[in-house]
Amino acid sequence: MARTLIRGGTVVDGRGGEPAAADVAFEDGRIVEVGPGLDGDEAVDAAGMTVLPGLFDCHVHVTMDGPDLLRSLGQPFSYQFFRAAANLSATLDCGITTVRDAGGADLGVKTAVDDGLVEGPRMQIAITILSQTGGHNDQWVPSGCSLELVGGGHPGQPSPIVDGPEEMRRKVRELVRAGADVIKVCTSGGVLSPRDDPRHPHFRDDELLVCVTEAAAADRFVMAHAQATDGIKAAIRTGIRSVEHGIFLDDEAIAMMLERGTWLVPTLVAPHAVLEAAAGGARVPPESLRKAEEVVGHHADSFARAVAAGVRIAMGTDSGVGVHGTNLTELELMAKGGMAPLEVWRATTSSAAELMGLGDELGALEPGKRADVVLLAGDPTDLGDLKARIRGVWKDGARLR
């Protein structure tokens, strides 16, 4: 395979180092050299551009397309898979070459990407979001109907509802059998679920300990939808690797995260996306709209305090609640919350790779890493209008954008 050279750009290595003028050379899908004065068989002029590692989004839902429940219910069952293909393509347009799907995509979606049938970022998948009865992924509504939107909708998705340690043990094993790379569990209520409260903790420690133990036996991490303070603490206490959202953090929870090394995936853009969708005419249930309005301020404050304390942070958006392809808006919100631009890039590259267990292969511009590379017009410290500034995207050395 030809040796490709990206020449004359400003390299952001993904490790937090200062941007520096350098070339990046890759061959056979791997980075082989980074430095000045390199040569190659095919050269790309990156003058005036920033060269970044392929970006990550650690919290997406590629089979979902916004919070308008009635619209989703009016679509044929198989439509979600075609929608996923379009959403994966839109994500790749952002320079995001790796995602963690936090519920919805099944093994077929991931395999279609791996086999080249669908163009998109490489994926880790949770398949089904585990919820207690009456929890965040229990879509029972007062009419008596149950609207299985994120998991349990077909043979590739085990049912999401689990109560008690032994049910939890079996459910984790079912998910591993179905192809889950990561286990997702709801340790609190949420915004879009109809019959719970984001301030209430869900699952007891004995259930969560079984979840983590069974996942670890299969070499899987656990991620927790955790908005309530007590639900966040339960996730940390039982060894869950990442807290997703973290809306109601208090000082004790932050101290626990620091002690345990627990990751925060903030998804700051998610409640804003719900409000924007409603303003644009989406039929968001009134209770969900109320909850979104209530949590925005708490979410920003919790994130800022976590940043100031030094909590480990990886970028995630909850895209699927918001519009796929607008993922990079999250980076501006992270900067507003107190992260320096290079810290934001690190959270979106090497830190995200470490969270997902991919740090040996991805997340930095270093010899030996996979050749996932992004070209961005302009200054890397300017986080505005990022998607419009993407000029090139390579995944495993192949130029896709």
The distance from CA 9 to its chain's CA centroid, rounded to whole angstroms, is 28
Per the prediction, the chain carries an average pLDDT of 93
pLDDT confidence band for 146 (50 / 70 / 90) = low
In a domain? residue 358: no
Q: What is the 3-state secondary structure (H, E, C) of 174-225?
A: HHHHHCCCEEEEECECCCCCCCCCCCCECCCHHHHHHHHHHHHHCCCEEEEE
Instruction: Work out the burial of residue 207: count CB atoms within 10 Å of its CB; fewer than 13 is exposed, 13-18 middle, 19 or more buried.
Output: buried
Q: What is the mean pLDDT of residues 12-18?
A: 93
Task: Reply yes or no on whether the pLDDT at 147 is more than 90.
Answer: no
Give the pLDDT score at 194.
66
Q: Are residues 129 and 233 in the same domain?
A: yes
Domain boundary among 306, 327, 348: 327
In a domain? residue 346: no
pLDDT confidence band for 35 (50 / 70 / 90) = very high
Q: Are residues 40 and 68 in the same domain?
A: no
Up-side HSE of residue 78: CA atoms within 13 Å toward CB?
0
How far apart CA 294 and CA 2 sit, in angstroms, is 54
Domain boundary among 327, 351, 372: 327
| Helix axes 329-336 and 269-279, enclosed angle (nearest 10) | 120
Q: In what order do the strands lie in the sheet with 182-186?
A: 129-130, 182-186, 221-226, 242-245, 263-265, 312-313
In a domain? residue 102: yes
Give the pLDDT score at 149.
53
How far apart CA 94 and CA 55 sit, in angstroms, is 8
Q: Are residues 21 and 146 in the same domain?
A: no
* 56 DSSP assignment: E
pLDDT confidence band for 179 (50 / 70 / 90) = very high
Q: Are residues 63 and 46 in the same domain?
A: no
How many domains does the chain fold into?
Answer: 2
Domain boundary among 269, 299, 327: 327
Residue 201 to residues 188, 189, 225, 296: CA-CA distances in angstroms? 4, 7, 11, 19
The distance from CA 304 to its chain's CA centroid, rounded to whole angstroms, is 19
pLDDT confidence band for 227 (50 / 70 / 90) = very high
Q: What is the 3-state secondary structure (H, E, C) of 119-152?
A: CCCEEEECCCEEECCCCCCCCECCCCCECCCCCC
In a domain? residue 336: no
Among the ranges given (12-16, 76-80, 150-154, 232-236), the one the predictor scored with the smallest mean pLDDT = 150-154
In a domain? residue 354: no
Q: Are residues 8 and 48 in the same domain?
A: yes
Q: Return the residue matching tokens 């869900």.
A: 202
Please give the torsion angle defined by the CA atoms of residues 401, 110, 347 and 187, in that order, rounded to the nearest 10 degrees: 150
Task: Reply yes or no on whether the pLDDT at 192 is more than 90.
Answer: no
Q: Are residues 31 and 145 in the same domain?
A: no
Q: What is the mean pLDDT of residues 146-154?
A: 64
Higher per-residue pLDDT: 152 or 394: 394
How far apart CA 313 and CA 376 sit, in angstroms, is 23
Q: What is the mean pLDDT of residues 103-122?
A: 97
In a domain? residue 335: no
Q: Are residues 237 and 137 in the same domain?
A: yes
CATH code (residue 395): 2.30.40.10
In a domain? residue 130: yes
Q: Are residues 147 and 173 in the same domain?
A: yes
CATH code (residue 172): 3.20.20.140
Residues 201-222: tens digit of each pLDDT: 889 999 999 999 999 999 999 9
Up-side HSE of residue 105: CA atoms within 13 Å toward CB?
34
Give the pLDDT score at 143.
74
Q: Are residues 20 and 154 in the same domain?
A: no
Q: Are residues 70 and 42 in the same domain?
A: no
- Its pTM stands at 0.93
Domain carrying residue 175: 55-327
